[in-house]
Amino acid sequence: MNPIKTLLFSALIFSSLISCKKTTTTADVTGNWVRKSDLDGVVRSEAVSFVLNDKGYVSTGYDGTSSGTSRLNDLWQYDAANNFWIQKADMPGVPRNSAIAFTSAGKAYVGTGYDGVDKLKDMWEYTPSTNTWERKKDFSGTARYDAVAFAILDTGYIATGFDGNYLKDFWQYNSITDTWTQKVGFGGSKRTAAVSFVYNNKAYICTGTNNGTTVNDLWQYDPLTSAWTEKRKISNVSADSYDDDYSIVRSNAVAFIIDNKAYITTGENGSLLTTTWEYDFASDVWTKKLSFQGSARTGAVAFSLTAGGFVTTGRSSTYSFDDLRQFFPTQSENDNDD
């Protein structure tokens, strides 16, 4: 399963379907997307993002070209207070796409992914105070791409992805000892191109595909008990009315946190998506919000800062992107902001 062959195949599907995509009705939803400063680096998809010291970072990715330099290892920092980007030190590892990133104890970790030939398992540590990278111990799982990663209480985790097979194994990283430990994974479907998010020291994994089919389960991980709990499905499968309008299932989407809610947007499920969904942790219910107001896309990245949630990069069947938008979930739509 070559990601570039998959991209080309997907492009053919998207080009035939995007023209017949339904127009989203926004009269009964809230939210507002505000255009911010474009990423100063080149357009890309399948990048990684992370947050350090309330600054957003974007690194690696695929620029959509067929040249030998189509994969990237540059690093860009976004300052929301001043709405500008600064280039930081390139990651020394091989340029790649579909990698993972997480932060622990004030440092960022980037690894795994695909370099155009091989699946990868190397890991790199970034220190923002010195703007330097250091190679760390390789990921102890199989080399893979399109995994998910997160950190809770300064401990990093990697799960799922594709190594030639669909995966749902689960690994813990101790940044102090630079060691990996395999943990008990969740009971749901294997998957690739899923999303993860963290709230109140618990992690959540959902969306993605398994053998070409989107999955509809949502799992919560509690590191204090090492226990996984399945939450309500993210599709209309119950006899109750709360999920009647659910159209959340997708792959290659983004997720971010604003205050006490999680948000999922963009991605693909037969066609490119812009629909945005808000998750209430207390009620375990999703609410539709204003659709993403940039071009429909897959393979974007998102990050959560004090200022709010941000989405950038990604690709359509024709273009790759570098635009940045911030989401305000309680505002009313304002077309003049975009």
pLDDT tens digits along 23-68: 344 457 999 999 999 999 999 999 999 999 999 999 999 998 766 5
| pLDDT on residue 7 | 44
For residue 253, count other CB atoms closer than 10 A to its CB. Answer: 30
**Is 37 buried (19+), middle (13-18) or exposed (0-12) by CB count in 10 A?**
middle
Place of tokens 């998506």: 273
Question: Distance of CA 327 to CAs 246, 257, 290, 318, Å?
Answer: 20, 10, 9, 25
List CB contacts of 245: < 8 A, sequence separation 6 or more: 236, 288
For residue 274, the 8-state DSSP code is: -
Cα 204 to Cα 148: distance, rounded to the nearest angstrom: 10
Q: Which of 243, 319, 314, 335 is nearest to 45 (CA)?
A: 314
Q: Domains in the chain, ordered, with CATH?
A: 3-322 (2.120.10.80)
| pLDDT on residue 338 | 75
| pLDDT on residue 16 | 40
State the pLDDT confidence band at 22, using cuts at 50, 70 and 90. Answer: very low
**Is 211 buried (19+), middle (13-18) or exposed (0-12) by CB count in 10 A?**
exposed
Question: Distance of CA 277 to CAs 30, 83, 158, 273, 300, Å?
Answer: 11, 26, 24, 12, 16
The answer on pLDDT for 262 being more than 50 is yes
- Do the Cβ atoms of 295 and 313 come closer than 8 Å? no
The answer on pLDDT for 166 being more than 70 is yes
- Do the Cβ atoms of 71 and 118 come closer than 8 Å? no
| pLDDT on residue 15 | 41
State the pLDDT confidence band at 337, using cuts at 50, 70 and 90. Answer: confident
Q: Which segment of 24-28, 98-102, 179-183, 299-303 scores lowest on mean pLDDT?
A: 24-28
Cα 14 to Cα 297: distance, rounded to the nearest angstrom: 10
Provide the total of helices (H) and of strands (E) in the chain, helices listed first.
Answer: 1, 26
For residue 153, the 8-state DSSP code is: T
For residue 237, count other CB atoms closer than 10 A to its CB. Answer: 11
50: which 2 tokens? Answer: 């992370």
